[in-house]
Structure 1
Amino acid sequence: MVPAVRSAFPIALIAVFALNACSKGEADGRPAFPVVAKVNEQEIQANELSSMLAHGAPPGMEQGAALEQLIDQELMVQRARERRLDRDPRVLQSFEAAQREILARAYLEQVTGQTEPPSDAQIAGFYAAHPELFAQRRIYSLQELEISLPVERFAELHRMTERAGGLQGVMDWLARERIPFELANAVKPAEQLPLESLKGFARMKDGQMVLTATETGALLVQLASSRLQPLDEASARPMIERYLVNERKVALAKAEVERLRDAARIEYPAAPGRPATGSAPQTASRAVTPTVSE
């Protein structure tokens, strides 16, 4: 059983409901795994708790808290079955969707599971190519202003940011315009910043700001200060290995999805504004973003 965290109640209930039956094992009429709790005679076995801690619990969650969450879920599952919700068409559709996602993820994990580790030369090359991450690595103290505004006002905000003397000037303008915003302070090492924008941060001087558009408006970041804290190649090696291995897994997963699509006959039924086709259009670019575990 792979339940989700308590904050995602519907997904957690579906996962418990769908996978409960196949996660328990018996040997000679006895539980295959130690029983850690009983809920109205229904056993919760140690393998379920281990799976919860490995896949469904937030980082740092204690074993006791995870067990209590499993008990809560089991109580709800029992009541749901009493009300025959396991036969509700909407629930069955959710089961099918969850099963499809789990099987697809398992397949990609199997395909990418034998990824070879990077060589010493590749690790050294990555280290040399990214001094902002390693040899010139910095710890950044940032002030982040999350701004909620319509997209048509982004250009106006951009002009205001360029004229303002600093973050306080921008906040004063936002307050006058009644534009919602939230200010947060953060201290982040270089590796916690997006790799594609890290070179820009490395060139910034204290007090400088950078504005980027977001789905809900904009994010304005001011560099309050930074300090040099380099990593030598030996210390950086585990980080580089994880990054390069995961990069290869993503590339393998994308290639495998493309291979499967090319080998398959994919048909699109007629829909308003789109003619019926016998197979998937090959000229259109496809954005494939499979999920790969590190």
Structure 2
Amino acid sequence: MKKIALIVPALLLVMAGCSKHEGAAKGGSQVVAKVNGSEITVHQLNFALSKMGKLDQSQVKAASEKVLQQMVDMELLKQKSVDEKLDRDPNVLQVLEATKQQVLAQAYMQKVASKQAAPSEDDIKKFYDTHPELFSERNVYVIQEFAIKEGNEHASEIEAGINDAKTGDDIANWLKEHNHMFSVNASRKAAEQLPLELLKKMNTLKAGDTLVVKSPQALVLLFLAKIDRQPVDLEKAKPVIQQFLVNSNQQTLIKNEVAALRKEAKVEFYGDFSKMTMDGNATVPAAPAVKPDTDKPEAPLAAPASESTQPAHNPAIEKGLSGL
């Protein structure tokens, strides 16, 4: 039954509970299809369409027909599932209950998060000033990365050996002369595409410098071949900073709420977990990861969107902010 975990969430999103054998719609215009007597209403269709994001007016009719066809297929599959009593299968019931629990928990978190006040202009300015490496002193780095597989064992020797290197070729030649196996990769990275701790170190370096980084798999040498200063002014940064602060404040509100609920609740553990105690740290689901804008990593922040309710976003900047 492993496939059920994948199928059920899709059913909830696409179908939104397509059929209702009891309680017909108030008016015939509310019903867009009947499948073996079970109704699919316009409200259910609109809900499914809302999951597709914003559609142009020219796309609505075709999208509606496509989604409705999918809803019919899902209803047929659901009816067959009920006929074969799969709705009573313990594994299916477990998945349905887990999905219900998640939906209700997220609904409450959303309600709690909606209580926060919008970030003030002072909050946005303070954040901008506190992180010059992402904004006023934002750089785009041309990096040559040397990964030395067994380099951690010889880190001191390697660091001393490449100390006088002026170019990437100097580093490569020294490593070859001393029989160190390595791979090399060249890339162009904007500040927001780098881990924040690494960025803080790189922001203090100049072109021609090399940063030595230990990782579990290899010793990594980051040679800064070129540094281009491409600052982002406060006006362009405002929308993405505002969204970051909103998300951050929401996480804080939710964390505090969960902590309060834990404090008030009576929780008992049994069996193998009988000696377990309540963890004082509230566990809050993390915000969704944002995909970096890898096609144009050095692109500046986008201009504000035309709709005032939707601030402009730069995915790459957001990735940098998410590491804070």
Does residue 13 in structure 1 map to residue 11 in structure 2? no
Contact 1:105 1:291 in 2 (8 A): no
Contact 1:144 1:185 in 2 (8 A): yes
Amino acid paired to 1:51: K
Cα 1:29–1:72, aligned 2, differ >3 Å: closer, same or farther? Answer: closer
Q: Please list, as runs of the form range in 1=range in 2, the aligned pairs for 1:108-257 lying within 5 A after superposition.
A: 108-142=109-143, 155-156=152-153, 162=159, 169=175, 173=180, 186-206=187-207, 208-211=210-213, 213=215, 217=217, 220=220, 222=222, 223-257=224-258
Contact 1:49 1:70 in 2 (8 A): no
Q: Please list, as runs of the form range in 1=range in 2, the aligned pairs for 1:8-157 lying within 5 A after superposition.
A: 12-18=6-12, 20-22=15-17, 26-31=25-30, 45-53=45-53, 75=73, 78-79=76-77, 81-83=79-81, 84=84, 85-142=86-143, 155-156=152-153
1:288 alignment partner in structure 2: 283
Q: TM-score by structure 1 length?
A: 0.66
Question: C-alpha displacement at 1:262, in angstroms?
Answer: 0.4
For 1:221 and 1:248, locate their aligned partners in 2 and report how far apart those are by CA, in whole Å: 37
Q: TM-score by structure 2 length?
A: 0.61
- Where structure 1 has 5 or more consecutive residues not aligned to the other structure, the ranges are 1-8, 55-61, 176-180
Which structure has the greater CA radius of gyration? 2
Contact 1:135 1:230 in 2 (8 A): yes
Amino acid paired to 1:101: Q
For 1:24 and 1:143, locate their aligned partners in 2 and report how far apart those are by CA, in whole Å: 58
For 1:254 and 1:50, locate their aligned partners in 2 and report how far apart those are by CA, in whole Å: 29
For 1:97 and 1:255, locate their aligned partners in 2 and report how far apart those are by CA, in whole Å: 24
Secondary structure of 1:17's partner?
Answer: helix
Aligned residues: 257
Cα 1:136–1:21, aligned 2, differ >3 Å: closer, same or farther? Answer: closer
Amino acid paired to 1:231: V
Contact 2:87 2:93 in 1 (8 A): yes
Question: C-alpha displacement at 1:292, in angstroms?
Answer: 4.6
Q: Deviations over 1:57-105 (max 9, x none)?
A: xxxxx98799868866864674465243443321221121122122212
Amino acid paired to 1:13: I
The share of aligned pairs that are identical, in percent, is 31
Cα 1:46–1:270, aligned 2, differ >3 Å: closer, same or farther? Answer: closer
Question: C-alpha displacement at 1:261, in angstroms?
Answer: 0.3
Amino acid paired to 1:289: V
Contact 2:142 2:187 in 1 (8 A): yes
Cα 1:115–1:66, aligned 2, differ >3 Å: closer, same or farther? Answer: farther
